A and B are shown apart, each in its own frame.
Chain A
């Protein structure tokens, strides 16, 4: 069974540039999560979906961050006008959904904003 895949693995930007991260969850997993992990910290939830619906995006900085999962499978997280404070690893995770609290993580995208 293939795991969660993410791309790109690394991104380096200047402040003000935009970037998109892509995630392909484990086949059949209906719940998908995006986390931000600053250096030397634990992951912090940004947004999560069940199928194509956003369940909770209260931690997503909505003025610059957006996330979609249009067909309930792959997902894209986008940062408009990146700031140095956005420097972190962005992790995607998926879960089988109802009845399971286990999440399976991808390798992450390490973002550096100069």
Chain B
């Protein structure tokens, strides 16, 4: 069965520092992959999506992610973190077999220090 693992429940970085949030997926085949962000007391907002093609995808607010089939990973990166990036980040997978479901990881809480 497909699954998503976000191994880091909490990540703390200083404002202006670079960021990587890890995501590992389990799926036999080539999945569609997503990163969502959830600000306090709000719904989830789509940051970026991967459909089979270029392994590096760009998203909003300077975020990017890289798909690696060999590592079954889809890590999120940002070159310089801003205080407004303080939020919970979720990685999600959708099987490319015609299922329209999303399977989410448990999320990573990002804290930005001044």
Q: Assuming the A-B contacts A43-B44, A105-B43, are A48 and B101 also in contact, with contact meaning beta carbons closer than 8 angstroms in the complex?
A: yes
Q: Write the B28-48 contact mask toward A (1 if CB under 8 angstroms, else 0).
A: 000010101000011111100
Residues of A within 8 A of B34 (CB): 101-102
Residue numbers in A under 8 Å from B42 (CB-CB): 107-108
A107-B94 in contact given A44-B104, A48-B100 (Cβ < 8 Å): no
Rounded to whole Å, the gap between the CB of B7 and the closest CB of chain A is 13
Indicate if A45 sits at the interface (CB-CB under 8 A): yes
Q: How large is the interface on B (under 10, 10 to 19, 20 to 34, 35 or more residues)?
A: 20 to 34
A98-114 to B contact mask, C-beta < 8 Å, 1/0: 00011111111010000
Q: A109 to nearest B CB, angstroms? A: 10
| Bound-complex Cα distance A91 to B102 (A) | 13
Q: Please measure, in the bound complex, the distance between the C-alpha atom of A101 and the C-alpha atom of B4, giving whole angstroms.
A: 17
Greatest chain B CB density within 10 A among A41, A91, A101 is at: A101
Task: State whether the Cβ of A87 lies closer than 8 Å to any Cβ in chain B.
Answer: no
Cross-chain contact A45 with B45 (CB below 8 angstroms): no
Seen from chain A, the residues whose Cβ lies within 8 Å of a Cβ on chain B are 4, 31, 33, 40-45, 48, 50, 55-56, 91, 93, 95, 97, 101-108, 110
The 6 A-B residue pairs whose C-beta atoms are closest, nearest first, are: A42-B104, A105-B43, A105-B44, A107-B43, A101-B94, A101-B32
